[in-house]
Amino acid sequence: MVRLMVEQNRIGQILQAGSQLLADSTMTEDSARQIEAQMSLLNTHWENLRVHAMDRQTRYHTTQCAVK
């Protein structure tokens, strides 16, 4: 779970950098849409991975408690 928290911070930094880029940039509307789409995709994939990891940890702990 520690690794998950470290990666959560990295994902947050990436999304923050993307938001800053969108706010500070004079890019085309198409480029801005592409960046927003990539940020949304990253966030969706990260959330799916995070939920899967948490479910897996819960199953592991449940199994460990049942063995004891």
CA distances from 47 to 6, 17, 22, 43, 65 (A): 14, 18, 22, 6, 27
Start-to-end Cα distance in the chain: 22
Structural domain containing residue 6:
2-67
pLDDT digits (tens, 9 = 90+) for 27-61: 999 999 999 999 999 999 999 999 999 999 899 98
CATH of the domain at 43: 1.20.58.60
Residue 4 is predicted with a pLDDT of 87
pLDDT of 5 strictly over 80: yes
Indicate the number of domains in the chain.
Answer: 1
